[in-house]
Amino acid sequence: MMNKPRSTQHRNSIVWPLILILVGLLYLLTNLGVIDPVATQSLWRLWPLIFFAVGLDALFRRYEIAGPVFMFGLGVVFLISNFGWLAWPAWDTLWRLWPIMVIAIGVDLILGRRYLWLSIVSLLAIFAILFGLVWVIGGGLPALGGQTLPGEAIYQELGSAKMAEISLSPATGRLTLAASQDHTALIAGEVHLANRNDIRSDYQRKGDAAVYTLRSHSTAALPGSNRGWDLDITPEIPLDLDISMGAGEIDLNLAELQISKLGTSQGVGNLLLILPDGATLQADINQAIGKISILVPKDSAVRIEVSKALSTLDVPSTFEKLGDYYYSPGYEQSIIKIDLNISQAIGSIQIQIKK
């Protein structure tokens, strides 16, 4: 008699219950003084292991391949990034390897999710191909790079505007922003995309205020290409700045800018933010998965509110925690204040004093 594959339809997952139990035990032992809080923060660097757990759950319960390949890939990337073995710009170039997912789906369809041992062998073979291509052809993860895409010059005259609202919305890639040396420009720089028609810009005047919007028309990323937004904005007038990105890297050097209000929203990636000196600022920083690094000016008055799920948090030792907030010394007495509202689901949040 032919052996029939075992039914997997009624197997309940124990992954999420186990994760909840482990997280609860970790915090319980920390609260009881058994585990040092510093050690707890270090252990959170291992949060990408959740992706491995979810992938293994899908592999053993449903014998599928595509899902575990995706989850294991995310877990590897985030784990080695947390330990400093992989730079985030290199992570962005892993888009070049998207055909691996197509291969995994094809193998999944052929096997029909029938036998566990076949699924495991196929999964190992796919990952052997993945890392072989990376190291043999690409010369290692950090050396991976993509084709530089055509550039589109960006320029908007400052004119007589006394203040400005600027909104930037790259779908994917890398955004770098700094103060402009051109005193006549509101914003200037270059954007690299596969299709210049993907760029949409709009400029309006509302009294003394300039309202400028720059966005990607297409949300699709071109695998294997470098999508870069290199922009400079005026330091001459006060600015409200709003930035949103799906996946990639955001590098904001606001040290010389007059930023009064800042909003950032990012799906997956890395955010580096250098805050301005001697300015009152309200900032809302939101990220789903990734790393947030913020440099605050020395001797500045800072209040930080953090909302996080599976994230590590590192703040200067001189900051005091009161309720849901972290305060720098002298915050209440200062007239010029920086208020940060940070939200992240998974990853790491690091606040440092700018030297």
- Tens-place pLDDT, residues 291-336: 899 999 888 899 999 998 878 888 998 999 988 899 999 898 888 8
pLDDT score of 287 more than 80: yes
Strand 209-216 versus strand 172-179 pairing type: unpaired
CA distance 133 to 89: 18
In the numeric block, the tokens 């915050």 are attached to: 331
From the list 217, 173, 222, the residue with the least C-alpha distance to 199 is 217
Instruction: Please list, residue by residue across 301-310, b when 16 or more beta carbons sit within 10 angstroms of its beta carbon and e when fewer do.
Output: bbbbebebee
Predicted confidence band at 123 (pLDDT cuts at 50, 70, 90)? low
Predicted confidence band at 2 (pLDDT cuts at 50, 70, 90)? very low
- DSSP H or E stretch at residue 90: helix 88-93
Q: What is the model's pLDDT at position 269?
A: 82
Positive or negative, the Cα torsion across 12, 18, 19, 20?
A: positive
Which tokens hold the place of 307? 């909302």
CA distance 131 to 143: 13
Contact 295, 273 (CB under 8 A): yes
Over residues 329-345, the pLDDT tens digits come to 989 888 889 999 999 98
Over residues 151-165, the pLDDT tens digits come to 688 999 999 999 999
State the number of CA atoms in the 13 A half-sphere of 293 facing the CB. Answer: 13
Where do the domains of the chain lie? 47-143, 147-353
In the numeric block, the tokens 């609860």 are attached to: 24
* Averaged pLDDT score across all residues of the chain: 77
Over residues 81-109, the pLDDT tens digits come to 666 665 555 455 555 555 666 666 666 66
pLDDT score of 180 more than 50: yes
Which tokens hold the place of 153? 């010059």
Give the pLDDT mean for 219-227: 45
Predicted confidence band at 44 (pLDDT cuts at 50, 70, 90)? low
Q: What is the model's pLDDT at position 136?
A: 47
Q: Write down the pTM of the prediction.
A: 0.68
From the list 193, 242, 200, the residue with the least C-alpha distance to 217 is 200
From the list 66, 65, 88, 64, the residue with the least C-alpha distance to 77 is 88
CA distance 54 to 59: 9
Over residues 251-268, the pLDDT tens digits come to 999 999 999 999 999 988
**C-alpha distances out from residue 244 to 63, 67, 80, Å:** 37, 28, 26
Share of the chain above pLDDT 70, in %: 64
**C-alpha distances out from residue 186 to 211, 233, 275, Å:** 10, 6, 20
DSSP sequence for 269-326: EEEEEEPPSS--EEEEEEEEEEEEEEEE-TT-EEEEEEEEEEEEEE--TT-EEETTEE
Q: Which residues pair with 327 in a beta bridge?
A: 303, 320
Q: What is the amino acid identity at position 183?
A: H
Which of the two residues, 113 and 200, has the higher pLDDT score?
A: 200
In the numeric block, the tokens 């009294």 are attached to: 207
DSSP sequence for 191-234: EE-S-GGGEEEEEEEETTEEEEEEEES-----TTEE-EEEEEE-
DSSP sequence for 125-186: HHHHHHHHIIIIISSSGGG---EEPPEEEEEEE-TT-SEEEEEEE-SEEEEEEEE-S-TTEE
In the numeric block, the tokens 């890395």 are attached to: 270
Q: Report the number of secondary-structure helices (H) and strands (E) in the chain.
A: 7, 16
Predicted confidence band at 181 (pLDDT cuts at 50, 70, 90)? very high
From the list 167, 168, 159, 338, the residue with the least C-alpha distance to 236 is 159
Q: Which of 41-45, 122-126, 217-221, 296-300 is predicted most confidently?
A: 296-300
Which tokens hold the place of 249? 């890297």
